[in-house]
């Protein structure tokens, strides 16, 4: 019993420190992994498997309540009853109670009294546009393909999916032989909007790369490669709504040079997308068009993991053709999978890549092989200070 008290005290102390923001990111991830192992050790195997089998009900309940705007209502009111929610949403009171029962049990909504609900940190996060977009994108676009993935693999003889136009997504959604992005642009603008919002939130709470990577030392403070006011400092390739570009621009505002955001015309031409001075938006197709030439830095986040090696080499050719040898640097932000002991998040993300795009996350060896084929020299592969994305710094071979 003494041991139980000691462990309980240690856990309570760690909880207080964590909730006050007292842990650095790397320490937080280490402790989270330790806590997960503790839960696994205390949980009976049969109970763990039962919870795994019933887990989709949590995601379904979250998506339904998100559609009804329930999280926003709870956050706005501070405390609300199921009757009040039913009156506001026009949904059945008993249905709402059943859905919310799942989420109060899972810890996503507080339950101060019978049929009464209040916000906690998770509720507040779900009420934000980026987190809502994440849930919508993964649920609406991915649940059917993921559910039918075992059937698809059985029919294809358990081959590793590698055809972006004829894979689990097309099988699951029953769509024509086109890749996800073409399908969204041509047929599903709602899903496209959800994904663009999701891309703003795909980093989660993990620090942006500009906050942990030595950007000035590695990329900017080189007197042999000066950037003038009219030169191009930074190009964000397929940068969506420009959230990563803006983070870089704000962090290093004292550096001269122009910025370019490349993406599909319907995104780049969006007049509501205001990125401030020194930024030019240019529509393009990275399979067909070269990026703007002669920039100091080119940046690609979560692009390579969407495509097979064959398609990646086409994309990279349209980037390397515009790079200036000895001057330009290509920065790739993506997962760098370890060969052993992979964290759960990137491992699950790899399954999403398989389901959505017949693509995959890559190991360090696979990154080296791909980038070498593209005519690039890898200066370094830098893992993140946690379980998020790493940074790969590459330049044209001398």
Q: What is the C-alpha separation between 44 and 40, in angstroms, rounded? A: 8
- From 127, 143, 170, give the residue that closes a domain: 127
CA 323 from chain centre, in angstroms, equals: 27
Question: Which DSSP helix (H) or strand (E) runs through 110?
Answer: strand 110-113
238 and 386 housed in the same domain:
yes
- The answer to whether position 372 is within a domain reads yes
Give phi and psi for 207, each to the nearest 5: -65, 145
233 and 312 housed in the same domain:
yes
25 and 88 housed in the same domain:
no
Contacts of range 344-350, beta carbons closer than 8 Å, 24 or more positions apart: 344/36, 344/387, 345/387, 345/388, 346/387, 349/305
Share of the chain above pLDDT 90, in %: 65
Domain of 100, in residue numbers: 68-127
**Which of the four pLDDT bands, split at 50, 70 and 90, describes residue 362?**
very high
Q: What is the C-alpha separation between 398 and 98, in angstroms, rounded? A: 63
169 and 258 housed in the same domain:
no
- The answer to whether position 63 is within a domain reads no
CATH of the domain at 91: 1.10.10.10
**Which of the four pLDDT bands, split at 50, 70 and 90, describes residue 43?**
confident
42 and 112 housed in the same domain:
no
Catalytic: which of 183, 243, 262, 305? 305
141 and 110 housed in the same domain:
no
361 and 268 housed in the same domain:
yes
311 and 381 housed in the same domain:
yes
- The answer to whether position 36 is within a domain reads yes
118 and 46 housed in the same domain:
no
> Which among 270, 257, 265 has a CA at the least distance from the CA of 288?
265
CATH of the domain at 250: 3.40.50.150
- pTM, whole model, 2 decimals? 0.82
- The answer to whether position 60 is within a domain reads no
- The answer to whether position 59 is within a domain reads no
Name the DSSP letter for residue 304.
G
- Structurally, the chain folds into a number of domains equal to 4
* CB-facing half-sphere around the CA of 140: CA atoms within 13 A: 21
Length in residues, the chain: 398
Mean pLDDT of 264-268: 82
Q: Is residue 1 pLDDT above 60, yes or no?
A: no
- From 184, 201, 218, give the residue that closes a domain: 201
351 and 214 housed in the same domain:
yes
- From 9, 28, 54, give the residue that closes a domain: 54
305 catalytically annotated: yes
Neighbours of 112 (CB within 10 A): 8
pLDDT tens digits, 81-115: 999 999 999 999 999 999 999 999 999 999 999 99
133 and 104 housed in the same domain:
no
Structure tokens at 360: 């995959």
338 and 358 housed in the same domain:
yes
Helices 309-320 and 364-373, axial angle in degrees (round to 10): 50
């Amino acid at each position: 019993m003494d041991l139980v008290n000691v462990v309980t005290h240690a856990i309570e102390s760690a909880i207080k420190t964590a909730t006050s923001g007292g842990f650095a990111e790397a320490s937080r991830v280490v402790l989270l992994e330790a806590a997960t192992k503790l839960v696994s050790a205390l949980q009976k195997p049969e109970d763990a498997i039962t919870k795994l089998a019933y887990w989709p009900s949590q995601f379904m309940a979250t998506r339904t309540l998100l559609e009804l705007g329930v999280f926003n209502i709870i956050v706005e009111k501070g405390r609300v009853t199921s009757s009040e929610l039913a009156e506001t949403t026009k949904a059945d009171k008993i249905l709402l109670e059943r859905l919310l029962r799942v989420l109060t049990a899972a810890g996503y909504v507080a339950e101060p009294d019978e049929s009464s609900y209040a916000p906690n940190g998770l509720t507040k996060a779900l009420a934000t546009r980026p987190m809502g977009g994440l849930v919508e994108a993964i649920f609406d676009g991915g649940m059917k393909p993921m559910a039918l993935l075992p059937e698809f693999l059985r029919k294809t003889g358990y081959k590793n999916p590698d055809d972006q136009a004829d894979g689990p997504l097309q099988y699951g959604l029953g769509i024509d032989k086109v890749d996800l992005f073409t399908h969204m642009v041509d047929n599903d603008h709602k899903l496209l909007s959800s994904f663009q919002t999701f891309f703003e939130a795909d980093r989660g709470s993990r620090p942006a790369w500009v906050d942990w990577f030595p950007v000035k030392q590695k990329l900017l403070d080189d007197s042999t490669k000066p950037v003038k006011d009219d030169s191009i400092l930074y190009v964000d390739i397929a940068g969506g709504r420009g959230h990563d570009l803006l983070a870089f621009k704000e962090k290093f505002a004292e550096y001269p040079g122009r910025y370019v955001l490349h993406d599909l015309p319907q995104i780049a031409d969006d007049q509501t997308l205001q990125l401030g001075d020194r930024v030019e938006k240019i529509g393009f197709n990275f399979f067909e068009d070269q990026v703007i030439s002669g920039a100091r830095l080119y940046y690609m986040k979560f692009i390579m993991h969407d495509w097979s090696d064959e398609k990646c080499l086409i994309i990279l050719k349209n980037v390397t053709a515009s790079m200036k040898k000895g001057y330009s640097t290509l920065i790739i932000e993506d997962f760098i999978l370890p060969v052993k002991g992979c964290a759960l998040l990137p491992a699950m993300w790899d399954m999403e890549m398989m389901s959505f795009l017949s693509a995959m996350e890559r190991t360090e060896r696979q990154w080296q092989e791909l980038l070498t084929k593209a005519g690039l020299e890898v200066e370094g592969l830098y893992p993140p200070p946690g379980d998020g994305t790493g940074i790969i710094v590459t330049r044209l071979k001398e």
